[in-house]
Chains A and B, each alone.
Chain A
Amino acid sequence: MNPDPKTMPDPSAMISVRNLSKLYKDFIALDRISFDVQRGEKIVVLGPSGSGKSTLIRCFNRIEPHDSGILSIDGKIINAQTDLTQLRATVGLVFQNYNLFPHLSVLDNCTLAPRLVKKTPRADAAEMAMRFLQQVNIAEQANKYPIQLSGGQQQRVAIARALCMQPEVMLFDEPTAALDPEAISGVVGIMNDLAQQGITTLCVTHEMGFARHIADRIIFMDKGRILEITPPAEFFTTPKTQRARDFLDQMISY
């Protein structure tokens, strides 16, 4: 299942990683990670906290630059010379804390980057934003400020904002971790819809329902290494490693 780390990255894959490592001083956050993500694939990254899940997906839009190994996105090698504007327009990221711009209305949150980065005319940007806001069921709040919205609503706006850049890959960094159960179902519902539309998705989450039913594959990480990459049916019924079994036991008892 795992690609051979010694091979070159697969140019036809959406994301291809070979021996990717990342250090924080002397702490190894990512330890020689190798895998491919095909176009339209939905990957859920699981693992205990501190296992490097967030660091891994943040490498894909170079918010966290990797230290060694090869990373290729959409067939292009990502390194210090990469045009970050182009990379980040291709790879969208949704944060755990939403990170909406508090000084801008919901609509302006969505139109700011397309207008500045892609030079989309204001009217076109607004029209597209309204379409995505409708898709995340929040169009009626378009003129409010983030502070006036609930956490779940804010996270849905954040998803719409990322979609407005029309990315080919969506990264979700624990998108439901700060939400109450009711809000979670709303956000997970949106993510389900997106998954159906065929956008390549990587999601770090503890939301087992999403992992079980939507993911094509589960990546299980611990201590900066990938321990398992398997379809969810396999992962949830017959995990190969003891670490994964312990993790699942904890999840269920919790």
Chain B
Amino acid sequence: MTHSMAQFMRRCSSRFRPRVLAAALAGVLAIAGSAQAAEPDLPGFIHDGTLTICTNPTLPPMTFVNGNDVNAVDGIDMDIAHRLADYWHVSMVVTTMDFTGLFPSLAAQRCSMVASGIIKLPEREKNFDAVSYQDTALVVVARAGTPPLSSMADLSGKTVAVQSGTSYSARLAKENETLVQAGRAPIIIQQYPTEDQVVQQVLIGRVFAFASQDVELYYRQEQLHGKVSVILVPPYPEYGHFALYIRKNAHDRELLDQAIATMGQNGQMAAIQKKWAISPDVAKALANTSPAPMFRWDTFFSALTSTAFMRGAFITLAVAVLSHFTAIMISIPMALALNGRDSLLKMALKGYVSVFRGAPTLLQLLFIWNALPQFLPIFREAWFTPFLATWLSLSINESAYQVEINRAALGAVDKGQELAGDALAMSRRQVYRHVIFPQALRIALPPTINEFISLLKTTSLASVISLQELLAVTQIQVARTFEFTEYYAAALVYYLAMVFFFLFLQKRVERRFAWADRHKATANES
């Protein structure tokens, strides 16, 4: 263990004492108040006997996927949530999503509570109620061997990575104001969507340091093989507690406070802390680590053959195929209308195409998932799953692109073909079904396959609304193990395999269009 790490341990040891005093006090009050009532009062955020937890499982040991099953979220937060559910005699459901989606989801009433290793901050308490459950401290971490700093001002001019959506960047910005006033260079802040990427920036040497919580670092020590060390524990009292967040409600807040206090009193909290080894004596055992190999083939192959990756790939494929199919179905009548005479409908369709081609796909996904429920409460119900939301947004989005392909393809079919169909007494429907569409299909197929391949990869955006597609699964595994290269390589293999399969399919289908090529048609016939 490095010198700085040892120093850090000493400084932090006092912080990990559970909030025994507060807990005991609250517990006594609770017992006195309820007079040994068997059933505690149920908070308003519990619906249908279910405590729904929103979490971003990429912050071990608070909340993370501890194994190959991406649906099994584990960690201190989850254990606490389980104890809370037991306390209220209700069941518990976990919804995982991108960090930036947590608070919008809480606001949209998609969950009862956000439990995701989030710091108790006055800014957040303006909009939500917070109940703290675990003491912590902010730490600044750099590669092993970096000499410790004496104050935040020493970071002047250096690059620091933080997880986006967290409050660290705001805190560093405040630090920068002081630096700039003193005529010094500010800290350069880089933000990454997941904590593991933040750490990776330090490991690969792109940034000087990252800001994180001490609790997390304990857990990371094992994976990081002593590659990082704490260089500074800035005196930020406001970073002292992890908290559970609920929608503003004084009564609910009080009930949650009581529940946490009771857990502190009856030893449940201490058991959880022991289980997750967030105490300095455990850290010592982790000091003896050997350097990691460059590429672990066993990790790569086990990822490749894991049900988690197969399931992720299946979800990616399913949502892409369904979305594109729906998009094509919507876009054919749209293309016919757009190729037709001017009308109000045509103007509306032009607007539709402009809006959905213009807006970023990510924004559309976030809008449908987080904003739509605020207008239409029906979309916050359980049936509206991340899968359905992704299907809906990608269908709409893709149809705006597909309609242009269809329009061009339909326009490219010789006008004489329609005339010939008419002259042969065929109905409008028959002309389109048997004459126009088969010819337009040949023209539309290559750009459509192109679109599909693009869409297959666009599905990875849906991790922000908690769809467990291939890339989300990969990131969760990386957050757990820090084996970037192995899991990225496994994901790459899956994506490439899917894309090559569709390119192969395209070739097969194109062979059926031999009629368009004189030489091929001759060859086929013989």
Contacts and interface: CB of A to CB of B under 8 A. Distances in A.
A92 B420 contact: no
Contacts of A113: 421, 424-426
B438 A92 contact: no
Contacts of B423: 61, 63, 88, 92-93, 95, 162
Interface in A26-69: 61, 63
B422 interface: yes
Interface in A56-94: 61, 63, 84-89, 92-93
A145 B514 contact: yes
Interface in B507-526: 513-518, 521-522, 525
A8 interface: no
Contacts of A86: 425
A100 B419 CA distance: 11
A143 interface: yes
B420 A147 contact: no
B422 A63 contact: yes
Contact of A103 (B416, B420, B438): B438
A63 B515 contact: no
Contacts of A61: 423
Interface stretch (B38-46, B151-159, B314-322, B427-435): B427-435
A116 interface: yes
B146 interface: no
B430 A101 contact: no
A117 B442 CA distance: 25
B420 A99 contact: yes
B414 interface: yes
A196 interface: no
B439 interface: yes
With most chain A CB atoms within 10 A of its CB, the pick from B423, B430, B435, B517 is B423
Contacts of B427: 85, 117
B417 interface: yes
A95 B420 contact: yes
Contact of B518 (A87, A93, A112, A148): A148
Nearest to A108: B434
Given A88-B425, A117-B425, A117-B426, A103 B515 contact: yes
Contacts of B438: 103
Contacts of B434: 112, 116
B439 A144 contact: no
Contacts of B425: 84-89, 113, 117, 165
B439 A102 contact: yes
A160 to B, nearest CB: 12
A137 interface: no
A99 to B, nearest CB: 4
B428 to A, nearest CB: 10
Contacts of B430: 116-117
Contacts of A102: 439, 515-516
Per DSSP, chain B at the interface is: helix
B442 A148 contact: no
Contacts of A143: 525
A89 B426 CA distance: 9
A201 to B, nearest CB: 15
B424 A117 contact: yes
Interface in B389-426: 414, 416-417, 419-426
A132 B25 CA distance: 101
A86 B514 CA distance: 34
B521 A101 contact: no
B421, B422, B424, B439 pick with most chain A CB within 10 angstroms: B424
Contacts of A87: 425
A145 to B, nearest CB: 4
A116 B435 CA distance: 12
Interface string A192-213: 0000000000000000000000
A97 B415 CA distance: 11
B439 A95 contact: no
Nearest to A145: B515
A18 interface: no
A162 B518 CA distance: 24
A161 interface: yes
A99 B414 contact: yes
B416 A148 contact: no
B227 to A, nearest CB: 63
A95 B414 CA distance: 13
A93 B435 CA distance: 17
A57 to B, nearest CB: 11
A144 B522 CA distance: 8
Nearest to B416: A99
Contacts of A104: 515
Given A88-B425, A89-B425, A147-B521, A101 B419 contact: no
A89 B516 CA distance: 29
B422 A88 contact: yes
B422 A99 contact: no
Nearest to B518: A147
Contacts of B414: 99
A76 to B, nearest CB: 15
A112 B424 CA distance: 9
A122 to B, nearest CB: 14
Contact of B515 (A88, A99, A147): A147
Interface string A109-121: 0001100110000
A146 B514 CA distance: 11
Contacts of A116: 426, 430, 434
A88 B427 CA distance: 11
Contact of A148 (B420, B422, B521): B521
A193 to B, nearest CB: 21
B424 A161 contact: yes
B419 A95 contact: yes
Interface string A127-146: 00000000000000001111
Contact of B442 (A88, A93, A103, A147): A103
Interface in B1-17: none
Contacts of B416: 95, 97, 99
Contacts of B426: 112-113, 116-117
Interface of A: 61, 63, 84-89, 92-93, 95, 97, 99-104, 112-113, 116-117, 143-148, 161-162, 165
19 contacts: A63-B419, A63-B422, A84-B422, A86-B425, A101-B417, A101-B435, A102-B516, A104-B515, A112-B424, A112-B426, A113-B424, A116-B430, A117-B427, A145-B515, A145-B521, A147-B516, A148-B518, A162-B424, A165-B425
6 smallest beta-carbon distances between A and B, as pairs: A88-B425, A99-B420, A113-B424, A99-B416, A93-B423, A145-B515
Given A88-B422, A95-B416, A146-B515, 13 more contacts: A63-B419, A88-B424, A95-B419, A99-B416, A99-B420, A101-B435, A102-B515, A113-B421, A113-B426, A143-B525, A147-B517, A147-B518, A165-B425
